[in-house]
Amino acid sequence: MNTKTYPNTLTPAQQHLIAGEYEQAAKLYEQAIASEPDIISHYWHLGLMLLLQEKELEAQMTWMLPLADLEEENIPTYTQELTQVLQLESERRENLEEFSLAWAIRQHIKEINNYDINNLLKILQLSFKIDNFEQIELGYLEIIDLLNSQNFVDLNLELLQQLLQEILETPPFNQSSIDFIKSCLPYLINTPYFIDVLPAVMKIGHIFKLPATAAHILELYLNLDANNLEILRHLTIFYQNAKNYSQGIETAKLCLSLSTEIADKIFAVHLILCSLLTAGGCWQEICSTSQQLEALQQEFITSQPLTLDEVRTLSLLTPSFAKPHIQDRPSDFRKIHNQLAQICQNNIQAIYHQQFERYSQRNINHRPTATYQKKLKIGYVSYALRRHSVGWLARWLFQYHNRDKFEICTYLINYNPADQFAEQWYVNKADKAHKLGITALEVAEKIYEDDIDILIDLDSITLDISCAVMSLKPAPIQATWLGWDASGIPAIDYFIADPYVLPDSAQGYYTEKILRLPQTYIAVDGFEVGIPTLRRQDLDIPSDAVIYLSSQRSYKRHPETTKWQMRIIKEVPNSYFLIKGDADEEAIKQFFYKIAEEEGVDSSRLRFLPQDPSEAVHRANLAIADVVLDTYPYNGATTTLETLWMDIPLVTRVGEQFVSRNSYTMMMNVGVTEGLAWTDGEYIEWGIRLGKDAALRQQIAWKLRQSRQTAPLWNGKQFTREMEKAYQQMWQTLSSS
């Protein structure tokens, strides 16, 4: 039994207390009072023993008895003694995890001194432990008033930080919790404890998917430190995710104005560019900002600063994500990006030199011991193994892996314990699953400890933490698959592709070896489809009209592609265009209206759709379309798969870069070439032809329906066998090198 809050040498009464023999302890204190009536502490302990016997009224009367005879000026001293006795027992009960009893004892301290701020904080903390939600709300109100009304010199800042972090990590949030956080921040802002609060705010915004709440908390911080660059960066991203587009753009521009280091400027311009792309419509500014970003990247490569901290280092790669949305020039893009990736890797390896050397030594030792026959340990690392495009698509690999030949480990970055989808597919179906936070070294160490043979990164440059992990090379073989284009990090050995998604010339501008699977780099067994909620009559569209649909986020909306789409609508009588995807509603409407007017299309033929309540309903609602018009230079990926699964003809422009060939490889792997355009003009021609030829649309729909039985795209099991052969090939290459 835990007795650490009591002295090593216990009195007989204390021994009875520790043993739970409260009646015997009370008798000893009664005897002590009889023999030493002037020792007031005996009354405090006797009252405590009565309280523990649930004789609350008798306990209070016992405590009041000696106070009645005291001079008024002496009462505070003795009540402080009583408080210390109760506090000591409350702490002991908390150590024993008897939280309800600890909470009850502290309620009596509150009766003695309702302004004891540290006791009130402790009561609130214990209320969380016992799920007393009524008391949590009451505690918020009491503490907020006190914290706002006076400056507490004796405030327990460590306790305050612990409580604040607990609140930040325990949704749902309401106005009382936000007000409480607001009242706490002034006490913590300039202390070492505040650094522990920021990760919790990141968790609220990114894991619990409450970006507006996270933004509000960071706004409170800015009231105290308006020019904190790190906070402003996070705030920009939360504004974007919360669809507060104008504030996102404004805050990103403030980041740039406050940046002095070139690495900071690069990331600030990236934030501006992402904010503009996410809002949609601001194309002239998007192009000028993209040029500004490229100029800064070139300047950085030329100067190559030797010392960068981890945050600045990792901010170098993510800006590359924006460029392929604007131009289809992979050889130019990757030339710059690969140089930045090399610099990023060098810095990460220097920062974590000791760990990198340890990983490298074991990787060297792997070579002579590698055997083709061994059971391979495959690690998958990602933040997207959840309800995310990557999560929806990667699950079939987990479903069909041969567990006799492969041991599967998952490393879930930014894991959300409430995500049942992640639990079902990526925790339960793995031999070992690590539910991790957002620290690169923590992730790398787990991979190293598990002695992974082949590590698969599903994030590429969409997550800086994954870039750091791969740069450290905690596994002897590393590859990128699915999540995005290759990251260019030299420590990554392979980029998994197929015969279509990259042209033959691509190896010339990739640092990774392109490993082409025989048919497709992705396959699924299908998708869950809900009940449709979208009907023509609700959209005021005639039953005999031709409906075109484009369902993509705003950052894939390119004005040139939109012009092609308007020309198609113009040439197909009685046609309508449905537009769906996250964007600034007014900005994206003006973007389409302007181009429609320039191309002579009446805006009444455009319909802007809200987001659907779920992925399953979204897929069901695709069925309203006769033809889907893809985006370029950034194609659909998951959206293309969903379109083909729903048997809808698709028009896509095939480009050079990975993200402009996703729809091409998917169509080739269902055996449909109708709708594949190799020029801008062919895109328009296919769009018009499919709109006018109902019989052709039916033929394509029939082909797509039949493809479910035979096509590589819909055969997750066959795809898994091909991936496993690729893994064995990688391992065999290592063993023979």
Residue 473 falls inside a structural domain: yes
Output the pLDDT for position 274: 92
Q: Is 675 left (phi over 0), alpha (psi -120 to 50) or beta?
A: left
Mean pLDDT of 80-86: 92
Position 193 pLDDT exceeds 90: no
**Do residues 403 and 504 both lie within one domain?**
yes
Residue located via tokens 């046609």: 575
Mean pLDDT value of segment 43-64: 92
Comparing 685 with 321, the larger pLDDT belongs to 685
Whether residue 431 lies inside any domain: the answer is yes
Give the range with max mean pLDDT: 180-184, 285-289, 314-318.
285-289
R_g over Cα of the chain? 32
Question: Is residue 370 over pLDDT 60?
Answer: no
**Other CB atoms within 10 Å distance of the CB of residue 14:** 16
Q: Are strands 454-457 and 432-435 parallel, antiparallel or unpaired?
A: unpaired
**Domain CATH code at residue 413:** 3.40.50.11380
The reply to whether 358 and 501 lie within a common domain is yes
> Is the bond leading into 573 cis (omega within 30 degrees of zero)?
no
Closest CA to 264 of 303, 316, 301: 316
Lookup: tokens for 421: 């989808």
| Whether residue 433 is found in the same domain as residue 572 | no
Check whether residue 565 and residue 474 sit in a common domain.
Answer: no
Answer with the one of 516, 535, 557 that is the final residue of a domain: 516
Please give the span between the terminal C-alpha atoms of the chain, in angstroms, as a whole number.
Answer: 59
Least confident stretch, 139-143, 171-175, 577-581: 171-175
User: Does 486 fall in a domain?
Assistant: yes
Look at residue 367 and tell me whether its pLDDT is greater than 80. Answer: no
Give the C-alpha separation, 232 to 218, whole Å.
Answer: 8
Q: What is the pLDDT of residue 3?
A: 35
Q: Is residue 6 pLDDT above 70, yes or no?
A: no
What order of strands is seen across the sheet that includes strand 432-435? Answer: 432-435, 406-412, 376-382, 454-457, 477-480, 494-497, 513-516
In a domain, 134, yes or no: no
**Cα-based angle 54, 56, 57 (whole degrees, multiple of 5):** 140
Domain membership of residue 709 (yes or no) is: yes
Name every residue whose Cβ is closer than 8 Å to that of residue 152 and which is 6 or more positions away in sequence: 117, 146, 187
Q: What is the mean pLDDT of residues 389-406?
A: 95
Number of domains in the chain: 2
DSSP calls for 309-367: -HHHHHTTTGGGGTGGGT---HHHHHHHHHHHHHHHHHHHHHHTHHHHHHHHHHHHHHH
CB 110 within 8 A of CB 147: no
Name the residue with higher pLDDT: 379 or 14. 379
CA distance 307 to 339: 16
Residues 507 and 565 in one domain: no
pLDDT in tens, 263-309: 999 999 999 999 999 888 788 999 999 999 999 999 999 987 667 88
Long-range contacts of 166-170 (CB under 8 A, 24+ apart): 166/125, 166/128, 167/128, 168/197, 168/200, 168/201, 168/203, 168/204, 168/217, 169/200, 169/203, 169/204, 170/128
- Higher pLDDT, residue 312 or 721: 721
Indicate if 370 and 440 belong to the same structural domain: yes
370 and 476 housed in the same domain? yes
Model confidence at 371, pLDDT cuts 50, 70, 90, reads: low
* The predicted structure's pLDDT at residue 31: 93
Are 548 and 512 members of one domain? no
| Cα-based distances in Å from 387 to 422, 541, 585, 656 | 7, 33, 24, 29
319 near 273, Cβ under 8 Å?
yes
Q: Quote the CA–CA distance of 685 and 677 in Å, as a whole number.
A: 9
Strand partners, 434: 411
Residue 67 lies in a domain: no
Same domain, 575 and 710: yes
Res 71: pLDDT: 75
Domain presence at residue 556: yes
Q: Which residue has better confidence, 352 or 418?
A: 352
The reply to whether 584 and 699 lie within a common domain is yes
The verdict on whether omega for the bond into residue 172 sits within 30 degrees of 0, i.e. cis, is yes
Q: Is the distance from CB of 607 to CB of 539 less than 8 angstroms?
A: yes
Residues in the chain: 737
Rounded distance, CA 679 to CA 681, Å? 5
| Domain region containing 469 | 352-516
Specify whether 581 is located in the same domain as 451.
no
How far apart are the C-alpha atoms of 452 and 366, rounded to whole Å?
Answer: 11
In a domain, 690, yes or no: yes
Check which CATH number belongs to the domain holding 555 and give it: 3.40.50.2000
Model pLDDT, residue 615 = 93
How many whole angstroms separate alpha carbon 408 and alpha carbon 174?
A: 40
Three-class SS state of 524:
coil
Confidence category of residue 1, pLDDT binned at 50, 70, 90? very low
Is the same domain home to 511 and 548? no
Would you say residue 116 has pLDDT above 50?
A: yes
Residue 2 tokens, joined: 């835990």
At 477, the amino acid letter reads: I
